[in-house]
Amino acid sequence: MKNLIIKLLANAVALAVASWVVGGITLEGSTTGRRVLTLLIVAAIFGVVNAVVKPVAKLLSLPFIILTLGLLIFVINALMLLLTSWITGKLDVQFHVDGFVAALLGSLVITLVGVLLNVVLPDKAEIR
């Protein structure tokens, strides 16, 4: 349970950085508390999309991933971010990605922030 909360917070931080850095990614809220709540909801949806849809997409596109030497994974990550934006739009959560280029740049930022957080945060929390 502790690892799940850590991953949720790491996703939230990565999405916050992406919305701050990339101009086409917007995260809205009237107050700071509302923005944090929106960010946590979006991070949870993003985590579910990455856990359920992304492995299927990677498996179906495996020959093309090999052919492009792994660069197609960035496109898949961008599509997962666009799917998250679409789902949050249906749920009336104030998170939006304006097109594929913004999603591609956002997925690069999220990947970089995720790598940095994985260096800082432990992979498995010790239980004592």
DSSP 2-21: HHHHHHHHHHHHHHHHHHHH
pLDDT of 1 above 80: no
Q: What is the pLDDT of residue 128?
A: 46
**What is the helix (H) or strand (E) element at residue 95, kind and residue range?**
strand 95-97
pLDDT of 78 above 50: yes
In the chain, domain spans? 2-120
Amino acid at 39: L
Average pLDDT over residues 91-96: 89
DSSP conformation letters of 71-87? THHHHHHHHHHHHHHHH
